[in-house]
Structure 1
Amino acid sequence: MNQQALSSFIWSVADLLRGDYKQADYGKVILPFTVLRRLDCVLEPTRAAVLAEFKVREGMGIDPTPFLKRQSGLSFFNTSDIDMKRLINDQDNIAQNLHFYIQGFSKEVRDIFERFEFAAQVDRLAKAGLLYMVTEKFIRINLNPSEVDSHQMGLVFEELIRRFSELSNETAGEHFTPREVISLMVHLLFVEDDEVLSKPGVIRTIYDPTAGTGGMLSVADEYLVEHNPNARLVMHGQELNDESYAICKSDMLIKGQDVTKIAPGNTLSEDGHLNAKFDYMLSNPPFGVEWKKVEGVVRKEHEQQGFNGRFGPGLPRVSDGSLLFLMHLVSKMRPAVDGGSRFAIVLNGSPLFTGGAGSGESEIRRYVLENDLVEAIVALPTDMFYNTGIATYVWVLTNRKPSNRKGQVQLIDGSSFWQKMRKSLGSKRKMMSDADINEITKLFGECVEAHLATVFDPKGKELTRQVVRSGEAEPAVPEGGNMKLVPLSRILPNQAFGYRAITVERPLRDEAGKIVLGERGKAKGKPQPDSTLRDTENVPLVDEVENYFEREVLPHAPNAWIDHEKTRVGYEIPFNRHFYVFEPPRPLEEIDAELKQVTDRIRAMIGELSA
């Protein structure tokens, strides 16, 4: 049974629940039962050995946990003498036996079902007379890893969560990220480290502070194992949503990961991995979500700990906490002398430019750029996420830039690399193919400037698209055709994103038009500023303030001056500006000729009607 068929079969349990359950509550039954059946199948081969070991150790007065884990070959086990198949042999006592079965799991697994609030659902199903039918339905599917591997199981979880989110009118994007977006992020994360990661027995740590159902961690693990079966990725994460946390934790259990490294709770207010540092990190924090609930804790850390805490550079506006997650990840970077770190985070357009000089957002951008942490920013196509169609960007940050990248940021416009989906999923209408991901990854890995050349025939039909790297020949254009050349990859110095916000003052005049002079203190004898004529100018860091002022301001306001005490340094990343290509409008003669043709055609049609 393929992944899609398996997901559909599992979701068909909803047919049993209809009437007794609201649609929004289907997932509260289907998700934990799926996890339970998966764990049940995983433990089946070692169940007898675990029970025998348990009976031996039970009366010895010692903790049997390490012995039982060794027998199961996993980081979890079950000490009850029943399984799901035996549950349906005693229909009258199925609820009681199911509770007993759940309590037989090791502590880590019991925590999963507590997060699902599974006991309450079991009692509700029993009261409605549905518990036996639901249990029997799940027994029909074999979720043993020999039949359904971890990758397939991850896809099944993803599909079930998506359906549950749609029915409950939640945003699917709060639970998981599209697989191809994760794949691109993972490629960008590892591409420069292929040589190191290919070594036998290499072990690296990875962390996701907004882990969701664990999709990002799973894809990263799959990538590494595919390229080096002897490599090991030790996964860490934290997740706020209980159901997503439960699924993530169960998936990590099955893969043999230490589930104590998956923490519950709000990453911003209660860091589940305090003082920990990681080799790699991934995150897709919620877009444009306010952080008012944790404002007190975050502000306290910012004010009391400063740069010794996570939020030293500044705080963004309360309406959008995206940059708080970015700063959280920066704080988790392993020191460069110990090998350093690299992380990829998905953000919307707001963190690129929101906030003027001196604002929290600008100060955060200033910190990461002046410390040479930003390696690249990749624009994704719109309509890539399930809950929003807005423009999104992958930021890649590292404190171990190779020498050819130092002092620079690479901008890649990947917004044209997509295919239309056969069927939309919420707001998601586009997807990136493996070829699209590979092309963007190559541009990043090569660290080159490039253009996208689109060739058209004489009738304006697109013939081909080709990535033209700096120094390469452009594609040939057929006779009568043309070519559109747009920037695809830009490499700019960090300073290109900085500016000085200067305050330009103009003199205050009295009713007679005479300039008013100060009468005391520092202002004595000096022209007084007219607040109604006050203006600001953003002077690029690469430009001298006085030269800019003489060139751009004084010709228009000869009496103006700069109030240097109000000058602030700011940073913004006007991504689209660096990829804008001016297209001149068509000649007026051509437009007039086209309008005349249309007008003549309309006159002819009217004449035919009159006749």
Structure 2
Amino acid sequence: MDNQEYNSIVSFIWGIADDCLRDVYVRGKYRDVILPMTVIRRLDAMLEGTKKTVLTMKKQLDAAHIDNQWPALCNAAGQAFCNASPFLLKDLTSRGKKQTLEADFKAYLDGFSPNVQEILDKFKFRDQIRTMVDADILGAVIEKFTSSDINLSPKPVYKDEEKKIVKLPGLDNHGMGTIFEELIRRFNEENNEEAGEHWTPRDVVELMADLAFYPVEDQIKDATYSCYDGACGTGGMLTVAQARLLKLAAKQGKKVSIHLFGQEINPETYAICKADMLLKGDGEEAEHIAYGSTLSLDGNPSRQFDFMLSNPPYGKSWKTDADKLGGKNEILDTRFNTYLPGGDLLKMIPRTSDGQLLFLLNNVSKMKTDTELGSRIIEVHNGSSLFTGDAGSGESNARRYLMESDLVEAIIALPDNMFYNTGIGTYIWVLSNKKEARRKGKIQLIDATQMKSPLRKNMGNKNCEFTPDIRKEIIRLFLAMEESDVSKIFDNSEFGYWNVTVDRPLRLRVFPEREIPEKDEKGKVLFKKYMELLDVRDAVQEAAKTAPFDDWDSFAKATKLKKTQLKKIRPYITETDPDAKEVAGEADPELRDTENIPFQYEGGIDTFIEKEVLPYAPDAYVDEDKTKIGYEISFTKYFYKPVKLRDMKDILASLAELEKESEGVMDDIVRGLE
């Protein structure tokens, strides 16, 4: 089947919406009918040839009082699914009464096997039946889908009884998948405000597949591989990855198979993903798609995968998942917590307003360690994953874990406006736990922000794309691993830093003449017994006779008061004074500062303090107990190109020219007023 025939089928199905649904559904809701009906008709067409065999088998099973009939019925149908109702879809076109049509259509739907029932339930397709019956369009929709002008069957339709002249060619599983994906694409374009949540642009997916497989194409063997997407949406990444691996394997003369796994929380896109796989003949793969939240209900807790591609939600709250996991501060899931070599716990839980890094950590937890290839992860994030979070935060700790484990091969900055529902900058992370020798201990940054081709027509926010040539250039940059204006290579330690707390001693001057009040600022009594207050006041006045006012430790000792009493009165009789003596063991919180010291600063923390701090604050010191390690990546830092300023002579010449022009304008205005 050529592209023209594919397009004619897509156009026909698209036309059903305009012909039958226009006055009943708003345009954005056409998909609620068209997508499930396309699935139903394709499955129906695939079951036509074995319908009698299935009904005969069902009659025998009923007679034998066998309850679990589905395995035998699916086997009779020769598919991973079946329909045990007495109807084919075309049988329903003769129903004259709406009530009869509705009842028979529901019975027909109820006849599908459980795997199809789940798809229909997630589509909420039965909710549409009453709407279509009331509007008297159900019969028209069924008639359109079973029309002789369209063939969704794998068998060709012939013009002659001898079956020599083909009227409509058969549609194989791959072709049906292509048509279904094209329908999804069109509907996503129609609803571009939500498209980014469900659909990653095909050009970006193609690049991600390239990054997953091209670097290891010479390592592909005659074997079975697995591919996983923990935020699989409609399954586009999985199917593109499958096609790419099979293509590269064939190029290498290898015979491979690939099993697809995924998880999706949105019921409709989950249904589309499973339906798409069924339509392509991947019945087993459809069973590998889990429903629910990957974060709080991992559908593949014990599996590991060879390849993982994903575009997780970013900037989206995961508070509901956090609550299900026991609360953000109580999460013990080993995917999101690890231990440092010294045994200290490293918590990698980000703020609940953005959980994208958790999807990356989930993938890392599923990497294979006992194979020659290991695992490769390709994942899209926004800039938050690169730099949000101070040292010691969950985000920074996640980056620390990834980099100190030497998992990150590269990060690629994509052009703005590459996605449908956002114009912000996005980045592709490339991870591997079996880096080639030249990449060990290093991370490659690629600035692809200017590598884009404009679209003729914007698709939501998307105004540019990656052409095949652009994708090839990005892959070339990655594989070459050479330094250039758009490709830079750094040691992992380049992105690490120490966050140190720099303190200075507290210096207090005593003012014994100041009154010690009975109550504090909140009205709370300082001393329960008034006599104690009087004794404290007397002790201060007595110490003032002999003790120095610029040395709090000496003055406090001279009062002979208890520590609790001194703590209460100190705020009222002292002030900080840079000329006073240090208070032993206490830092001045007003003078406290923090410094981020790069790991690669020559000489480390001590040299930094000596050169950058002590010349300006000789009494400064580092509170080592508060030192934290952080990691962040700034593309701007490494790829910023300052705008070249105009020469001053050119600026003055332009100003002079403008001045002459304005004088002429003023003269014209004045003459006009006269």
* Other-structure match for 1:470: none
Distance 2:611 2:317 in 1: 42
Aligned partner of 1:256 in structure 2 is 281
| Structure 2: distance between partners of 1:47 and 1:446 | 56
Give, as a single letter, the amino acid of the residue that structure 2 aligns with 1:242.
P
Letter in 1 for 2:240: V
Find the aligned partners of 1:256 and 1:515 in 2 and give their Cα distance.
85
For residues 417 and 294 of structure 1, the distance between their equivalents in structure 2, rounded to whole angstroms, comes to 37
Q: Which aligned runs of 4 or more in structure 1 are off by greater than 6 angstroms?
A: 515-521, 608-611
**Where do 1:256-405 residues align within 5 Å?**
256-257=281-282, 258=284, 259-299=286-326, 303=330, 305=332, 307=334, 309-312=335-338, 313-337=347-371, 339-405=373-439
Residue identity in the other structure for 1:494: N
Q: CA deviation at 1:567?
A: 0.7
Given the alignment, which residue of 182, 194, 201 partners 1:178?
201
Contact persistence 2:189–2:460 (CA under 8 A): no
Deviation at 1:599, TM superposition (A): 2.1
Write the mapping of 1:81-96 to structure 2, written as runs, cut at 5 A: 81-92=86-97, 93-96=100-103
The alpha carbon displacement at 1:302 in A equals 7.6
CA–CA distance in structure 2, aligned partners of residues 302 and 559 of structure 1: 38
Distance 1:24 1:273 in 2: 34
- Point out the structure with max Rg over C-alpha: 2
- Does structure 1 retain, via aligned residues, the 8 Å contact 2:372–2:434? no
Residue 142, structure 1, aligned to residue 147, structure 2: no
Which whole-Å deviations, capped at 9, do the CAs of 1:192-244 have from their partners, x for residues lacking one?
Answer: 221233x44x3111111111111111111121223335422101111111111
User: In structure 1, what is the Cα distance between the partners aligned to 2:7 and 2:451?
Assistant: 26
CA distance in 1 between partners of 2:642 and 2:385 (Å): 26
Q: Secondary structure at the match of 1:362?
A: helix
1:247 is aligned to 272
Query: What's 1:530 paired with?
Result: 588
How many pairs were matched up?
568
The amino acid across from 1:535 in the alignment is D
Q: Distance in 2 between matches of 1:157 and 1:59?
A: 43
Q: Which residue does 2:191 correspond to in 1?
A: 165
Are residues 302 and 331 of structure 1, via their aligned partners in 2, closer, same or farther at CA, if it must alter by over 3 Å? farther
How far apart in 2 are the matches of 1:276 and 1:302? 27
Matching residue of 1:441: 475
Residue 489 of structure 1 aligns with an amino acid whose one-letter code is S
Q: 1:3 to 1:207 in 2, by over 3 A?
A: same
Give yes or no for contact 2:397–2:631 (8 Å, CA) kept in 1: yes
Matched, 1:26 2:30: yes
Moved more, 503-512 or 314-323: 503-512
TM alignment of 1:498-509, pairs within 5 A: 498-509=496-507
Deviation at 1:607, TM superposition (A): 4.8
Cα gap change, 1:159/1:3 in structure 2, threshold over 3 Å: closer, same or farther?
Answer: farther
Give me the whole-angstrom Cα distance separating, in 2, the residues matched to 1:300 and 1:176: 30
What SS does structure 2 have at the residue aligned with 1:595?
A: helix
In structure 1, the residue matched to 2:105 is 98
The residue number in structure 2 matching 1:539 is: 597
2:13 to 7, 10, 15: 10
Aligned equivalent of 1:41: 45
User: Structure 1's 606 and 173: CA in aligned 2 closer, same or farther, altered over 3 A?
Assistant: same
C-alpha distance in 2, partners of 1:530/1:74? Answer: 76
- CA–CA distance in 1 between the matches of 2:268 and 2:48? 25
Determine whether 1:117 maps to 2:117.
Answer: no
Deviation, structure 1 residue 127: 2.5
Q: Using the alignment, how far apart are the partners of 1:306 and 1:134 within structure 2? A: 49
Amino acid aligned to 2:432: T
| Paired AA for residue 332 in structure 1 | K
Q: Tell which deviates more after alignment, 217-226 or 511-520.
A: 511-520
Tell me how far 1:71 sits from its aligned partner. Answer: 4.8
Relative to structure 2, which stretch is displaced further, 97-106 or 377-386? 97-106
Residues 6 and 385 (structure 1), Cα distance of their counterparts in 2 relative to 1, 3 Å cut: farther
Residue 292 of structure 1 and its aligned partner are, at CA, apart by 1.1
Which stretch shows the higher mean deviation, 32-41 or 144-153?
144-153
2-structure distance, mates of 1:274, 1:306: 11
Residue number in structure 2 paired with 1:561? 621
Hey, what's the Cα distance between the residues in 2 that align with 1:510 and 1:276? 62
- Which structure 2 residues correspond to residues 199-278 of structure 1 after superposition, within 5 A? 199-200=221-222, 202-228=223-249, 230-257=255-282, 258=284, 259-278=286-305
In 2, Cα distance between the equivalents of 1:86 and 1:420? 49
Displacement of 1:184: 0.7
Q: Distance in 2 between matches of 1:505 and 1:50?
A: 81
Partner Cα separation in structure 1 for residue 332 and residue 372 of structure 2: 24
**Which residue does 2:492 correspond to in 1?**
494
Are the aligned partners of 2:421 and 2:461 in contact in 1 as well (CA < 8 Å)? yes
CA contact (8 A) 2:505 2:582 kept: no
Residue pair 1:7, 1:159 contacting (<8 A) in 2 also: no
Between the aligned partners of 1:372 and 1:222, the Cα distance in structure 2 is 29
Q: More displaced, 135-144 or 373-382?
A: 135-144
Cα shift at 1:44: 3.6
Counterpart contact for 1:26–1:164, Cα < 8 Å: no
Q: 1:41 deviation in Å?
A: 2.8
What secondary structure, in the 3-state scheme, does the structure 2 residue paired with 1:430 have? strand
Aligned AA (2:656): K
**Helix, strand or coil: the match of 1:101?**
helix
Measured at CA, do residues 530 and 2 of structure 1 come closer, stay the same or move farther in structure 2, by a change above 3 Å? farther
Structure 2 portions without partners, runs of 5+ = 155-169, 339-346, 511-548, 558-562, 564-580
What code does the residue aligned with 2:597 have? V
Q: CA deviation at 1:372?
A: 0.7
- Distance verdict in 2 for CA 1:311–1:106, change over 3 Å: farther
Instruction: Answer yes or no: is the 8 Å Cα contact 1:42–1:254 preserved in 2.
Output: no
Offset at residue 70 of structure 1 (A) = 4.3
Residues 1:190 and 1:175: Cα distance change in structure 2 (over 3 Å) = same
SS of aligned partner of 1:20 = coil
RMSD: 2.8
Tell me, in whole angstroms, the C-alpha distance in 2 between the residues paired with 1:515 and 1:592. Answer: 62
Q: 1:154 to 1:224 in 2, by over 3 A?
A: farther
Query: Which amino acid is the alignment partner of residue 239 of structure 2?
Result: S
Q: Is the 8 A contact 2:39 2:279 kept in 1?
A: no
Q: Give the deviation of 1:81 after TM superposition.
A: 3.7
Q: Partner letter of residue 299 of structure 2? A: G
String of CA shifts for 1:489-544, please: whole Å, max 9, x gaps.
Answer: 111111111000011123333359968669799x9964742212211110011221
Instruction: State the Cα deviation string for residues 121-141 of structure 1 (Å, max 9, x = none).
Output: 113311221211121222233
Write the distance in 2 (CA, Å) between the matches of 1:506 and 1:380. Answer: 45
- Counterpart of 1:91 in 2: which secondary structure? coil
Post-superposition offset of 1:338: 6.7
Question: 594, 601, 608: which one pairs with 2:661?
Answer: 601
For 2:7 and 2:507, locate their aligned partners in 1 and report how far apart those are by CA, in whole Å: 76
Q: For the structure 1 residues 5 and 51, does the alpha-carbon distance in structure 2 shift closer, same or farther, using more than 3 Å as the test?
A: same
Could you tell me how far apart the structure 1 residues matched to 2:449 and 2:429 are?
A: 14
Letter in 2 for 1:120: D
Aligned-residue identity in percent: 40
CA–CA distance in structure 2, aligned partners of residues 117 and 534 of structure 1: 60
Name the SS for the 1:592 alignment partner. Answer: helix
Q: Determine the C-alpha separation between the residues in 1 that align with 2:378 and 2:5.
A: 31
Cα distance change, pair 101–322 in 1 and its aligned pair in 2 (3 A): same
Deviates more, 1:266-275 or 1:93-102: 93-102
Q: Shift of residue 59 of structure 1?
A: 4.2
**Counterpart code for 2:626:** K
Name whichever of 56-65 and 530-539 sits farther off: 56-65
